[in-house]
Structure 1
Amino acid sequence: MSPVFFAFVVGLGQGLLHAVGPDHCAAMATLGTLGTGRRRAALLTALRFAFGHAAVLGGVAAFCLLAGVGLSEAFERWAEVFGGGVLVALAVTALLFPNSLRHGHPHLPGHAGEPHSHIHEGVSTAAGALMAVSGVRSLLLALPPLLVGGSMSLSAWTYLPGFALGILIGMGVVGLIFAEGFSRMSERLAGWVHRAVALTSGALGLFWIGSRL
């Protein structure tokens, strides 16, 4: 196996593992239970979250590669505290001010069904980007490409698109699972699930902060 392809495969595998982290799943579940558009809306929410997440992670990693540096442990620790804060803020907003994260619209004439709501497109993307600050985990993202062959090595650079693709695939699959589950629930049950998910996400965020301080 060539070093270029090996770096891509390593990046893909680590991206998949990164995507299914408990903090990411909690954030996507909190956002995914807010809309009532069901399958398509929940999947798009997860993919937008993944895009924002991968873009920020890739940007930080690219900077580290170009500069030939890594990020300190202190930065990583406080970045994860920040990520826990983002998760708590998202959970509190979803519980107390859910309409601030939604936008609704009626069906067009001639289409069956009731008016429904979706997550604002920018909200899920921004949430993914903000969560990426905590998810940088600088050694996991920046050091493997540097160890493969240096800051300007082709094999080092192929790690990044592999990692980004792994995030998109992993979060997309998680989004599909959430979407399928929510689509089978009644509106009443979905409301209770939304509250339970938001509370769980908030508790996880508080635990995340406490364990890093």
Structure 2
Amino acid sequence: MITSWLLGLTLGMTHALDPDHLIAMGTLAAESRDIRRSVLLGVIWGVGHTCALALVGFLVLSLKWTIPIHMAANMEIMVGAMIVALGVHLLWRTLQPWTVHLHEHHHKEMTHSHVHIHGQDHGSHSHHLGGSRAKVLLVGFVHGMAGSAALTLAVLTTIPSMAMGMIYILIFGVGSIGGMLLMSGLISLPFVFVSQSWHHNLKVSAGCLAILFGAYFIWSPFS
């Protein structure tokens, strides 16, 4: 069991190095110039990934269920589509000069609204971080459901009990959270230390790369 748990921790950490994970996290880290925020998003990604893996692992262990090949392929297609969507969203937010919307504020018994205008760095405003966290949690969850995570579930079939299997998933999740925490911090460095003009160019490049890679990921199950 100790060997299996060490294997799970190692697999979890290296799982963060999968190219689809790095591309997706790159589009998320590109939206701000804050290393701490990027690291936090990496942790949230790992939590979503672990929740999905725990759900599928519970089904595998309790029902002795085997993940069908076509289902794993469909999940890979979903991941590819999600990466394309992240790239398009990043390009849209980068290339539009301004965003105008309303914000409501509550003061005692009074509520009023005012027009709020953001520039290209509007993703760094604190009142938008909640949406970013929810989006990253969803991205991590979808990745956890995909075929790359499902491959680790093959190890669960050799674990004799439900409790041991869930412990393995938890350890794997801790490893994936730690790996993504480190990688999200490293990925954010180029976006933090370059000038504003280069930051804009890097965001456009990250968006285009995500679209191309996502399209390849969608096509790969059919090749």
| 1:42 and 2:38 correspond | yes
Q: Which residue of 1 aligns with 2:61?
A: 65
Aligned residue for 2:156, secondary structure, equals helix
2:174 to 151, 165, 172: 165
State the 4+ residue runs in structure 1 displaced beyond 6 angstroms: none
How far the C-alpha of 1:209 sits from its partner, in A, is 0.9
8 Å contact 2:77–2:218 — kept in the other structure?
Answer: yes
Identity %: 21
- Give, as a single letter, the amino acid of the residue that structure 1 aligns with 2:156: P
1:142 to 153, 156, 174: 153
8 Å contact 1:81–1:209 — kept in the other structure?
Answer: yes
Within 1, Cα distance between the matches of 2:149 and 2:46?
16
Aligned-CA RMSD value = 2.3
- For structure 1, the residue ranges without an aligned partner over 5 or more in a row are 100-113
* 182-191 or 193-202, which deviates more: 182-191
How far the C-alpha of 1:163 sits from its partner, in A, is 0.8
Within 2, Cα distance between the matches of 1:175 and 1:21?
13
Within 2, Cα distance between the matches of 1:153 and 1:60?
13
Within 2, Cα distance between the matches of 1:76 and 1:179?
30
| 1:88 and 2:84 correspond | yes
Q: Which residue of 2 aligns with 1:129?
A: 141
Number of residue-to-residue matches in the alignment = 194
- For structure 2, the residue ranges without an aligned partner over 5 or more in a row are 97-120
Q: Which residue of 1 aligns with 2:50?
A: 54
Please give the TM-score of this superposition, normalised by the length of structure 2: 0.79
Q: Which residue of 2 aligns with 1:201?
A: 210
How far the C-alpha of 1:136 sits from its partner, in A, is 5.2
| 1:10 and 2:22 correspond | no
Aligned residue for 2:146, secondary structure, equals helix
Within 2, Cα distance between the matches of 1:29 and 1:135?
21
How far the C-alpha of 1:174 sits from its partner, in A, is 0.2
Q: Kindly tell me: are residues 134 and 72 of structure 1, through their superposed partners in 2, closer, same or farther at Cα, counting changes over 3 Å?
A: same
* 7-16 or 20-29, which deviates more: 7-16
8 Å contact 1:7–1:145 — kept in the other structure?
Answer: no
